[in-house]
Chain A
Amino acid sequence: MNSNRLFNILVPLISVLIGLFAGALIMLGFGYNPITGYVALWNGAFGDLYYFGETIRQVTPYILTGLAVAFAFRTGLFNIGAEGQVIVGWLAAVWVGTTIEAPMYIHLPLAIIAAAAAGALWGFIPGLLKATRGVHEVIITIMLNYTALYSANAIVRNVLSDNEDKTPDVAATASLASEWFQNMTFFSRMHYGIFIALFAAVIMWFLIERTTIGYELKSVGFNQHASKYAGMSVKRNIILSMVIAGAFAGMAGSMEGLGTFGYMSVQSGFNNLGFDGIAVALLGANTALGVVLAALLFGTLKVGALNMPTEAGVPTELVDIIIALIIFFVASSYIIRWVILRFKKEEK
């Protein structure tokens, strides 16, 4: 039956629709006009080229954190630590970007590779503990998120700056900022990173679908015992999966450090790129193409939401509620399947 594939497309679509519908109900309940609200959201995301540039800017790290979560999911691992991997990646990218002098064709790749390596290390720890000691990766990654947050803050304050709240800007040779994009989009913060993010999506697709490495990773995700019996190293694959996932998230950090901001500041809390990546991965059914599309949706919602207070008076947090509901329904896909099947039966 090809209905499994159909479900994989239907469930996210229905979840998004329910989420948006619930958002409309909330707006109605508080006396806003939902149409005005959603028009404001649309204008805030695509209204003119500036907003469009900002939307793409937001989509860029979402693709990468989405890939980070999705990639681990394919091996049956839940990478809730993208948040921390983003932070260490950001820190590493800015560290290389501010302290090393080199021509651009060395400096920029080096900064991005440093970010990926830092993220990979941050993924290696839970991978190793899971593989060798059977510790659940969710808890370890959560703990590492906070470790990353506080350590990075301390390093920004004491090592990369002189007791200030932000580092100096990265050197021009390590910057992803694009004058061409900026001129085209009325000086939005859109940067070349989007190409890197899309390229990473292609890499994930290729790795998972077209290589033996990907085959083994998926196989371990489906059934560890069968994979072991077939001669694959379950431990190695678990570690590898977390390392690659961490590298994706680390690169997302470099997008912020080298592209959007060009520096790193002390953060009072998480920027939620990693947590939103969970939503992106789930909605994208853990496939590369799905992640890109879901990242586009969430980027649109997040950036568009910023326009809602001015144009429609609706607090931006409405979008957070909508995203939470979408995650909730995608996670509860069992019930959506059940309802669809129920309807199908009645038709017959």
Chain B
Amino acid sequence: MGLVDLLQSIIPPALFFSAPLIFTALGGVFSERSGVVNIGLEGLMVMGAFVGIIFNLTFGDALGVWAPWVSIFVAMVVSALFSVIHAVAAVSFRADQVVSGVAINFLALGLGVFLTKQWYGRGQTDMVSHQFFTRDIPFLSDIPVIGDIFFQGIYWTSYLAIALSFVAWYVLYKTPFGLRLRSVGEHPMAADTNGISVYKMRYIAVILSGALGGLGGSVFALTIALNFSHATIVGQGFMSLAAVIFGKWHPLGAMGAALFFGFAQSLSVISGGVPVLEDVPQVFLLIAPYILTILALAGFIGRAEAPRANGEPYIKGTR
């Protein structure tokens, strides 16, 4: 097998698997940069997947070609609203943010499966028929070699994810809004003294993470899973969280990590056809993202340093 063929069999699936992780990891970056730990990414993805699938099944026929796009948009909005629960607990009620995130995970799965049983009479929904399809990108796919590898048989959502990473980077590092958001995560009291509303910034950040988590979940549902059950989202949210940390809380780093994790996931699916890797037992590919994150955190692969005030509720007037 030639190199081009090899890349052609590796890269599209890697992009395909990593898109949901990228979206969700970006959400995690926003939330954690503002100082709110978000273990609830998993639950936000569950909510996104649930809403995406239900909306698609209900209105898919009426919307036709636009069905998947409208579905992920609606999933985004609903997950953003859902994440307000985490924001209220973590920011206003001064709850332990990790515990509140755990509650979000429980609640999303409980609600999702409860409503699925309520509406479909069993633990899983029907399969959607208006999902995303792979596309050859016009013109670009005609470029020799590169076109074959990067622009044939790929989902638009994968490009959206990568583009959004750059947008997130620009917003966080090149705009006043981003500076404020990062400042409340590093030193909320200093930010407060400078007239930045810590609570408002944190609410916005958590809601953004809800929207992006919902986007990630619904994209996963409408490209990979195609239905919703209790086993649709199993660990992708936590893997995105790993990507946030492995990417050192930077949008582009998170994107890189998510691409790598998606690549590792896709390898465990397609490794049969790839030389060298076909001899590696699947389990090593499955646990690679987690082990690498531990090594990164332990300082063996660069030093991962969290935003200073991550996880601490801000109480006005305390030192």
Contact = CB atoms under 8 A, between A and B. Distances in A.
A143 interface: yes
Interface residues of B, number: 47
B107 A146 contact: no
Interface string A182-217: 000000000000000000000000000000000000
B106 A320 contact: yes
B177 to A, nearest CB: 27
Contact of B85 (A143, A320, A321, A328): A328
Contacts of A335: 92-93
Nearest to A272: B106
A268 B233 CA distance: 11
A269 B100 contact: no
Given A129-B297, A147-B291, A268-B234, A331 B95 contact: yes
A317 interface: yes
Nearest to B310: A136
Interface in B204-252: 231, 234-235, 238-239, 241-242, 245
Contacts, number: 135
Contact of A331 (B89, B231, B234, B306): B89
Interface in B93-117: 93-96, 98-100, 102-107, 109-111, 113-114, 117
A280 interface: no
B102 A275 contact: yes
B125 interface: no
B102 A146 contact: no
Contacts of B235: 146, 269
Which of B98, B114, B281, B299 is packed against the most chain A CB atoms within 10 Å? B114
Which of B234, B293, B294 is packed against the most chain A CB atoms within 10 Å? B294
- Interface size band for A: 35 or more
B96 A331 contact: yes
Given A136-B306, A142-B238, A317-B113, A328 B98 contact: no
B193 interface: no
A146 B231 contact: no
Interface string B277-319: 0000111001100110110011100000010000100000000
A150 B285 CA distance: 10
A322 B69 CA distance: 33
A282 interface: yes
A279 to B, nearest CB: 8
B271 to A, nearest CB: 14
B107 A328 contact: yes
Contact of B118 (A78, A151, A269, A315): A315
A25 B95 CA distance: 24
Given A143-B242, A143-B293, A278-B99, A317 B107 contact: no
A140 interface: yes
B39 interface: yes
A331 B110 contact: no
A323 interface: yes
Given A140-B297, A146-B235, A80 B98 contact: yes
Contacts of B103: 324-325, 327-328, 331
Contacts of B104: 324
Contacts of A330: 99
A333 B110 CA distance: 22
Given A135-B297, A151-B283, A317 B89 contact: no
Contacts of B118: 30, 315
A244 to B, nearest CB: 20
Contacts of B89: 328, 331-332
Nearest to B117: A315
Nearest to A141: B294
Contacts of A279: 102, 106
Contacts of A80: 39, 98, 102
Contact of A320 (B109, B238, B283, B306): B109
Given A147-B287, A153-B283, A327 B99 contact: yes
Contact of A78 (B94, B98, B293): B98
Interface in A66-121: 78, 80
B99 A138 contact: no
B283 A318 contact: no
B106 A139 contact: no
Contact of A135 (B95, B234, B241, B298): B298
Which of A78, A145, A275 is packed against the most chain B CB atoms within 10 Å? A78
Interface string A31-66: 000000000000000000000000000000000000
A153 B118 CA distance: 33
A40 to B, nearest CB: 15
Interface string A305-320: 0000000000101111
A318 B291 CA distance: 35
A334 interface: yes
Contacts of B85: 328
B99 A282 contact: yes
Contacts of B111: 317, 321
Contact of B238 (A30, A129, A146, A328): A146
Contacts of A319: 110
B286 to A, nearest CB: 4
8 tightest A-B contacts by CB? A320-B110, A324-B106, A324-B107, A154-B283, A332-B93, A317-B114, A331-B95, A321-B110
Interface of B: 37, 39, 85, 89, 92-96, 98-100, 102-107, 109-111, 113-114, 117-118, 231, 234-235, 238-239, 241-242, 245, 281-283, 286-287, 290-291, 293-294, 297-299, 306, 311
Given A138-B98, A139-B245, A320-B113, 14 more contacts: A136-B311, A140-B294, A143-B242, A150-B286, A150-B287, A153-B283, A317-B114, A321-B111, A328-B100, A328-B107, A332-B89, A332-B93, A332-B100, A335-B92
27 contacts: A80-B98, A135-B298, A138-B37, A139-B241, A140-B294, A143-B293, A145-B238, A146-B239, A146-B287, A147-B290, A154-B281, A269-B231, A275-B102, A317-B117, A318-B114, A320-B107, A320-B113, A323-B110, A324-B104, A324-B107, A327-B102, A328-B85, A328-B95, A331-B93, A331-B95, A334-B93, A334-B95
